[in-house]
Structure 1
Amino acid sequence: MGQPPLLSMRDIDKYFAGVQALARASLEVGRGEVHGLIGQNGAGKSTMIKILTGYVHRDGGEILFDGNLVSFASPQEAQANGIATIYQEINLVPYRSVTENICLGRERRRMGLLDWRAMHREAKELLARFGIAIDVRRPLSSFNTATQQMVAIARAIGFDARLVIMDEPTSSLHDQEVEVLFEVIRQLKAAGVSVIFVSHKLDELYAVCDRVTIMRDGRTVKVADMRDLTKLDLVTTMLGRAVAQAAGRQARTGSADASGEKLLEVEHLALGRRVRDVDLEVRAGEIVGLAGLLGSGRSETAQVVFGALKPEAGEIRVKGAPAAFAEPADAIRAGIGFCSEDRKYEGIVPEMSVRENLTLALLPHLAKAGVVDEARQREIVDRFIARLGIKCASPEQKIRELSGGNQQKVLLARWLCMNPKLLLLDEPTRGIDVGAKAEILGLVRELAAEGLGVLLISSELEELTQSSDRIFVLRDGRTVAELAGEAIAEPAIMHAMAHGEAVRQEEAAHG
């Protein structure tokens, strides 16, 4: 680039409660450049953006914007200096009009009064760039999510920003609306505006980005022109797994019976843009891995199966019978348990004891006339503490005082005491130490050997290849590969993640 970059973040450090979230991370964006920012969960992307826009303060490094050293104290200050951010979660005022949302903070006035005519005109003109013609006087909440997302983008553009940050802007948009957004991005680039584009969809990066910064574990690990990177390069760099290094990984040599009862069958499952066409199945005594990059639809698929989300299309069968669970309680009654990805916010109840957390789902079966059978409850808790090796001072200890691995064991015990037939595990080893990971995965294998069916979602390929009897790979909400036996290998999984090819097990075994 002939002229200095618009943005330069150098050697950025950040600690949260003593844990390093960023380590000498960097990000450089040229003038009039569309720059991709990618990485898995915990890579540091969001923290970098929050530091840039003044949500959090850095602990080290420097930021230059338009040649000047800056340290914004708030998002408002960043916005006033030409940086606009569009978040994945729509951050607007739903009961105010579209015009009010677009012009909020920069209202036009005439003779001391709000100039509604000018603001309505501006709102219409901005939305017209997206091909949207709506009544801008109506409340934002009266429009669908895609339109609200377009309003958020129009608001950001209306600030005449020199840098627009788009964090997963296509998550709520349909394909046609995505194309409109891409055209707007190209217009911004032509006008000299820079864009930071955060996305987990590889095809989107190639469609609009000039360069990309890849982050992993709080560090910037690669910066390159998009034209110089293959999709496989992107995937392997994000995961930190070179194909040559991964080639020797051995799959689980389990004893799952291929003729075992089909506990779960999912066909052509669809829900918005996150789940487009998912097929998978789980048999009794089998561990089935579900692989895919962040945003591929893994967690949403499990949530639909468990009744937490409602599918728009497709069929779910449990033990051969059609299942359309209205709520998770229906799935639980059908013998399905679910450990969600977010242990802290969706799993444990931190101020409750180990005993209370462990028997939370079982309480309706322990109570008669509203009174809990405490003797039976204690017997069950003691049995599962011993079986899973849960380390706690006593069953009455608050669960928040336990290590992450022991918290995860309590959550597993919560479902095991229900005697389920199928267990959905979403990132069961995230955030726990190596020893605890090995214990939990060993426990999962024991449960499968006893006949439990397990759907294992994990971002760690080694974890999947060494634990799974079969693996289904998702890409952009679709099942693109099914691997079994010797065909299970990290290179095959990464290839499917990158290229979206339907590499079925026969092809992988002979390819």
Structure 2
Amino acid sequence: MNEILRLDHVQFGDANGNILSNFNFSVQEGEVHGIIGDYGVTHSTLCSLCTGTLAPDRGQIYYCDQPVGRLSFAESRQKGLYAISEGKNLQSHMTVLENIYLIARREFGWQYRRRQIAELARQYLDFFDVSIPLQEHADNLTDLQSCIVSMTGAIIAGAKLFILDEITSSLNEQDAIIFQKVLSCLKYKGLSVVCMVHRIEELVRYTDRATLVKNGSTVRCMEKNDYSYDKMLAMLLI
């Protein structure tokens, strides 16, 4: 598999004393990669570094083997980088279809081609095997449904990499099963996913590889066949 994103010896600090000191991380095409531990910075800061909308103090960020400088929000999305946080990410007063258009409008232009957008939206929701009414208002959706709608719009717009911030932390068993299916669909399409998680159990359930971080520095990257709860816990605590 080809590497899509790499953060090489990245350092970042802010005025509040949050420090990412020596962060090494890479994600390949078509994989789900987990990050767990004490990042040294807030989740939103790490998401911004991964999407290129925040430049590191030191180190280099590579996207598709090319070094990238700081990107605007629009430039980041044009490259296919999408960060989705826990909770609702949509415009609550709009319908599902309107939100999908809002995310993917670069693909359609400013004309609201309702039939074309609806056809593509149904195509991807069917692909995920998820039933979400397109005329439902976003404020009636669950957090998982909101995430899936955001992903659907992003895929239509040309997404290549999703950075998911704590999406898995509050899923019940039924939603966890649905989310696993969605991740499998994304991998089948060759898309990449970064899952920022709190618990080792989430790494085991959802991810193919995992990067362990302590005090803002990378401890180790582990393959799924090397996952061990006790080993991971020891690395994160000692």
Instruction: Tell me if TM exceeds 0.5.
Output: yes
Q: 1:43 Cα deviation (Å)? A: 6.1
Deviation at 1:41, TM superposition (A): 6.7
Counterpart position of 1:61 = 59
Q: Distance in 2 between matches of 1:70 and 1:109?
A: 27
Code of the aligned partner of 2:104: R
Which residue number corresponds to residue 126 of structure 1?
124
Q: CA deviation at 1:221?
A: 1.2
- Distance in 1, matches of 2:63 and 2:115, equals 35
Separation of aligned partners in 1, 2:90 and 2:130: 18
Q: How far off is 1:226 after superposition?
A: 2.4
How many residue pairs are counted as aligned between the two chains?
A: 237
Choose which of 219, 223, 227 in structure 2 pairs with 1:229: 227
CA distance in 2, matches of 1:42, 1:201: 17
Partner-residue secondary structure (3-state), 1:223: strand
User: Equivalents in 2 of 1:93, 1:200: separation in Å?
Assistant: 27
CA distance in 1, matches of 2:67, 2:221: 22
SS of the counterpart of 2:10?
strand
The 5 A counterparts of 1:111-260 are: 113-239=111-237, 241=238
Structure 1 SS opposite 2:190 = coil
Q: Following the alignment from structure 1 to structure 2, what is the Cα–Cα distance between the partners of residues 185 and 234? A: 23
The residue number in structure 1 matching 2:29 is 31
SS of the equivalent of 1:78 reads helix
**Residues 171/156 of structure 1: CA separation in 2 closer, same or farther (3 Å cut):** farther
Q: Is the 8 A contact 2:82 2:162 kept in 1?
A: yes
Question: Where do 1:109-508 residues align within 5 Å?
Answer: 109=108, 113-239=111-237, 241=238
Tell me which amino acid in the other structure corresponds to 2:182.
V
Shift of 1:156: 3.3
8 Å Cα contact 1:7/1:64 also seen in 2: yes
The whole-number CA distance in structure 1 between the counterparts of 2:17 and 2:147 is 34
Distance 1:18 1:84, change over 3 A: closer
Shift, 1:47, TM fit? 2.9
Verify: 1:97 aligned to 2:84, yes or no: no
The Cα offsets for residues 421-469 of structure 1, whole Å up to 9 and x where unpaired, read as xxxxxxxxxxxxxxxxxxxxxxxxxxxxxxxxxxxxxxxxxxxxxxxxx
- Normalising by structure 2, we get a TM-score of 0.87
Query: For residue 3 of structure 2, what is the aligned residue in structure 1?
Result: 5
Q: How big is the shift at 1:12?
A: 0.8
Could you say what secondary structure the match of 1:129 adopts?
helix
Secondary structure of the structure 2 residue equivalent to 1:94: coil
Counterparts in 2 of 1:35 and 1:147: CA distance versus 1, 3 Å = closer
Contact 2:86 2:165 in 1 (8 A): yes
Secondary structure of the residue that 1:183 maps to in structure 2?
helix
- In structure 2, do the counterparts of structure 1 residues 178 and 115 end up closer, same or farther at CA, with 3 Å as the change threshold? same
| CA displacement at 1:109 relative to structure 2 | 4.9
Work out the percentage of aligned pairs sharing the same amino acid. 28
Q: Match of 1:233, as an amino acid?
A: K
Q: CA deviation at 1:21?
A: 0.9
- Equivalent position amino acid for 1:49 in 2: C
Instruction: Confirm or deny: 8 A CA contact 1:72 1:78 kept in the other structure.
Output: no
Q: Distance in 1 between the 2:55 and 2:108 partners?
A: 35
- Do 1:216 and 1:238's aligned partners in 2 also have CA atoms closer than 8 Å? yes
Tell me, which stretches of 5 or more residues in structure 1 are unaligned? 242-511
Label 1:6 to 1:41 Cα distance change in 2 as closer, same or farther (>3 A).
Answer: closer
Q: Is the 8 A contact 2:100 2:121 kept in 1?
A: yes
Separation in 2, partners of 1:232, 1:122:
44
RMSD over aligned Cα, in angstroms?
A: 2.4
Kept in 1: contact 2:8–2:60 (CA 8 A): yes
Q: CA deviation at 1:30?
A: 1.8
Q: CA deviation at 1:185?
A: 1.1
Match of 1:166, SS? strand
Deviation at 1:230? Answer: 0.8
Match for residue 71 of structure 1? 69
- The 2-side partners of 1:47 and 1:101 are apart by 25
Further displaced range: 38-47 or 194-203: 38-47
Amino acid at match of 2:186: L
Q: Secondary structure at the match of 1:197?
A: strand
Q: Distance in 2 between matches of 1:91 and 1:32?
A: 24
The separation in 1 between residues aligned to 2:31 and 2:199, in whole angstroms, is 19
Unaligned runs of 5+ in 2: none
Normalising by structure 1, we get a TM-score of 0.43
Q: Secondary structure at the match of 1:114?
A: coil
Change (3 A) 1:231 1:45: farther
Change (3 A) 1:134 1:227: closer
2:123 maps to a residue whose letter is E
Question: Deviation string for 1:106-154 (max 9, x for gaps)?
Answer: 33659x8421111122222222334333431232113344432332333
CA distance in 2, matches of 1:99, 1:159: 14
